[in-house]
Amino acid sequence: MIAKLDSMLLPRKKFLYHYKNVRWARGRHETYLCFVVKRRVGPDSLSFDFGHLRNRNGCHVELLFLRHLSTLCPGLSGYGFHGERRVSYSITWFCSWSPCANCSSRLVQFLKQTPNLRLRIFVSRLYFCDMEDSREREGLRLLKKVGVHITVMSYKDFFYCWQTFVAQQSKFKAWEDLHRNSVRLARKLNRILQPCDTEDLRDAFKLLGL
DNA sequence: ATTTTCAAT
């Protein structure tokens, strides 16, 4: 049992390499996704599962996760006796990259027809989000729109992941600039998710007295 | 100052 559990844990070096939130993440040709699944059956029965995945064979890790979802979340789809959804799940995942445009749109599609699933996404780095009009940025906004909470990982999140998903013998030690990078990325994500329709612009102008 | 990105070779 212990051995099985150990093999589910992420090697220390892999975690540090892939989750490092450096500005120029050269050579990260893999993406890791650490997840926690919570299942609510009755008013107070709560169970718990966790693990990690990485992309394989050209398949992005988010889509791989969706493929595993029915096994991970029994009773997620389908209906109970009286036509009501039977089981509610909440999933939190921590991904080394934010989702690409295609993965975002697939997730949005899935979540729209699965209201009994709540998803919270933490990301270490933002994937192709430099251009103002990038499809990746739009994808993140669509995720927000269907109720996904997307957050940039901070020290406490890396710490939690280290405790939960990593085969470690030592306490988590922050790399140089972890905090600075996290703050920079969080600001960038906020700007991306900031609603910017005309209504809001009008309010902003009013506020500025223009 | 500039650099990368769920590879492809």
Instruction: Pick the catalytic residue from A62, A84, A136, A199.
Output: A62
Cα three-residue angle A186-A189-A191, rounded to 5 degrees: 110
Write out the residue range of the structural domain in which residue A200 sits. Answer: 12-76+83-208
The CATH number of whichever domain residue A142 belongs to comes to: 3.40.140.10
Q: Using CA atoms, how far apart are residues A186 and A122, in angstroms rounded to an integer?
A: 11
A99 touches strand B (CB under 7 A): yes
Q: Give pLDDT, residue A2.
A: 46
A29 touches strand B (CB under 7 A): yes
- Asked whether residue A69 is domain-assigned, the answer is yes
How many other C-beta atoms lie within 10 A of the C-beta of residue A9?
A: 15
Q: Give pLDDT, residue A45.
A: 75
- Nearest nt (C1') to A126 (CA)? B5
Q: Higher-confidence residue: A106 or A197?
A: A106
pLDDT digits (tens, 9 = 90+) for A55-72: 999 999 999 999 999 999
Nucleotides of B under 7 A from a protein CB: 3-8
When pLDDT is averaged across residues A14-31 and rounded to a whole number, the result is 95
A30 touches strand B (CB under 7 A): yes
When pLDDT is averaged across residues A77-83 and rounded to a whole number, the result is 72
Q: Give pLDDT, residue A86.
A: 72
What is the CA A83 to C1' B3 distance in angstroms? Answer: 55
pLDDT digits (tens, 9 = 90+) for A117-147: 999 999 999 999 999 999 999 999 999 999 9
A130 touches strand B (CB under 7 A): yes
The secondary structure element, H or E, covering residue A110 is: helix A101-112
Q: Give pLDDT, residue A120.
A: 98
When pLDDT is averaged across residues A176-204 and rounded to a whole number, the result is 86
- Asked whether residue A203 is domain-assigned, the answer is yes
- Asked whether residue A153 is domain-assigned, the answer is yes
- Asked whether residue A1 is domain-assigned, the answer is no
Residue at minimal CA–C1' distance from B8? A29
The rounded percent of chain A whose pLDDT value lies above 90 is 75
User: Is A84 noted as a catalytic residue in this protein?
Assistant: no
Q: Give pLDDT, residue A1.
A: 42
- Asked whether residue A4 is domain-assigned, the answer is no
Beta strands in chain A (DSSP E): 10-11, 32-40, 46-54, 88-97, 117-125, 149-152, 166-167
Q: Treating both helix axes as pointing N-terminal to C-terminal, what angle do A178-193 and A135-145 enclose, rounded to 10 degrees?
A: 80
User: How does the average pLDDT of chain A come out, rounded?
Assistant: 90
Beta strands in A60-126 (DSSP E): 88-97, 117-125
Based on the structure, what is the number of domains in chain A? Answer: 1
- Asked whether residue A63 is domain-assigned, the answer is yes
A101 touches strand B (CB under 7 A): no
Q: Give pLDDT, residue A83.
A: 67
Q: Is pLDDT at A198 greater than 70 in this prediction?
A: no
How many other C-beta atoms lie within 10 A of the C-beta of residue A144?
A: 18
